[in-house]
Amino acid sequence: MISARRLVESSGNFWRDLAPLLPNYVKHVNMGGYERYDPPIRSGTEKARHFLVNELAFTCFSRKLLPQSVPAENAYGKLQAKWLARLPNNPWIDSPLTPDEIEDLKSLVGRLSSYSRALGLSDALFEHVVPAVGRLEAVEIDILTDRVICEVKAGERPFRSIDFRQLIVALIALGRVRVSSDLMLMNPREGLVWSENAKDFIEAISLRPFSEFFGDSVYELSEVGLSA
């Protein structure tokens, strides 16, 4: 079995064979192939703690928690415990939220909420888990509706190939029935949203019909494909 994260971060033949034009596509997107909803957030918070603030912002947004509330503080405590278990020697994790981080958190939650309303994602499932497919382990999707597959990023950076790979893996896990869905990346910290029809995106990066791409990807993730 292979995890979605390991597959997304891999540099082997899987991505070179299935999506040879993805690097060119990402460059095109970052040259302006996105929608800007807001200017970037540039706060005084430590960048080394952004991953905690970002994850807490998504938790507050998805669970409808107020950033400055007891439930949010409890969620932060659980988040700290999770990351301390993974990174016990990281000095940035085991400290309370600063006033600047709380303001950062409010801004991110506010943007996630307003973007979701504007994009018609009010009926979404959050952190939805799709069962394993072939050798691919279960896949978690940030935001899922009957027409949109969305992943949320919140780094001070442009979109990357791994962001799009994450969407592709989610699409493979959901199945070919999502051919008419829209794929979406949302970065509230940068104020950016990208979206594209799944079929159009896949055919642009793979140089093959969607049905052929899907068949090839399922084969590659089968017992035979991964062992070949």
Instruction: Give per-residue pLDDT as tens, 59-88.
Output: 999 999 988 888 888 999 999 999 999 998
Q: Encoding tokens for residue 170?
A: 């989610």
Nearest one of 48, 81, 45, 79 to 65, comparing CA atoms: 79
- For the chain, how far is it from start to end, CA to CA, in angstroms? 15
Residue range 194-198: mean pLDDT, rounded: 97
pLDDT exceeds cutoff 70 at 226: no
Global pTM value: 0.92
Nearest one of 167, 142, 131 to 7, comparing CA atoms: 167
Mean pLDDT over each residue of the chain, to the nearest integer: 92
pLDDT exceeds cutoff 90 at 133: no
User: How many structural domains compose the chain?
Assistant: 1
Range of the domain at 101: 4-227
Helix H segments across the chain? 4-9, 13-18, 22-30, 50-62, 70-86, 99-118, 161-174, 198-206, 210-220, 223-227
CB atoms within 10 A of CB 17: 12
Residue range 7-27: mean pLDDT, rounded: 92
6 band by pLDDT with thresholds 50, 70 and 90 = very high
Q: Encoding tokens for residue 194?
A: 């990208």
